[in-house]
């Protein structure tokens, strides 16, 4: 796809609500992906009077890195936890075993995070920050506990 096609796909109302991305970021990301060997620039093409457009495709290294990032996003919570939403949306790109292992790691990590948040309570600038973060972690733990893994794979 070329940058405009990617922009158009990402600006679809169903996608844009969950995965907002600035237009300029698309081209920056494409350059970075190409520089790191995760994407390959294909020869520019021109259709009619339209400007030349460079197409990009993911490389084998890019596909491996992509899958690694998806598994990491499922396994390790980071503020904000939106990375897990990307991994859930792209769950078909991971095998069921990788998904189960990542979610088990995520559960363990969340228990650790819960203890870290509680340990940092005295240093927090406001108790509400601690309470909010604990509630978010506990809500996700509850969700993971009730999760039917067959609905994800």
* pLDDT number for residue 32: 94
pTM of the model: 0.50
String of DSSP letters for 107-134: HHHHHHHHHHHHHTGGG-S-HHHHHHHH
Q: What pLDDT is stored for residue 4 in this prediction?
A: 82
In the chain, where does the domain assigned CATH 1.10.10.10 lie? Answer: 1-58
Task: Single out the residue of 3, 9, 8, 42 nearest to residue 26, CA to CA.
Answer: 3
- Residue 65 CB partners (closer than 8 Å, separation 6+): 38
Rounded CA gap, 96 and 98, in Å?
5
The residue written with tokens 């294909």 in the block is 42
pLDDT (tens digit, 9 = 90+) per residue, 41-76?
998 777 778 878 889 999 999 999 999 998 998 898
Angle subtended at Cα 124 by Cα 104 and Cα 131, rounded to the nearest 5 degrees:
55
User: Is the pLDDT at 79 greater than 70, yes or no?
Assistant: no
Q: Say which CATH class 1-58 falls into.
A: mainly alpha
Mean pLDDT of 86-93: 85
Average pLDDT, the chain: 84
Q: What is the pLDDT of residue 2?
A: 81
């Amino acid at each position: 796809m070329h940058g405009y096609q990617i922009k158009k796909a990402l600006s679809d109302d169903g996608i844009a609500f969950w995965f907002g991305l600035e237009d300029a970021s698309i081209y920056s990301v494409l350059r970075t992906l190409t520089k790191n060997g995760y994407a390959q620039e294909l020869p520019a093409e021109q259709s009619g009077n339209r400007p030349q457009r460079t197409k990009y495709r993911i490389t084998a290294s890019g596909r491996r890195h992509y899958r690694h990032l998806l598994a990491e996003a499922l396994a390790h919570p980071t503020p904000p936890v939106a990375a897990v939403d990307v991994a859930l949306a792209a769950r078909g790109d991971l095998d069921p075993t990788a998904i189960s292992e990542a979610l088990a790691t995520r559960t363990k990590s969340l228990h650790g995070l819960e203890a870290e948040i509680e340990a940092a309570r005295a240093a927090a600038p406001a108790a509400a920050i601690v309470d909010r973060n604990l509630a978010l972690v506990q809500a996700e733990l509850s969700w993971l506990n009730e999760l039917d893994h067959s609905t994800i794979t």
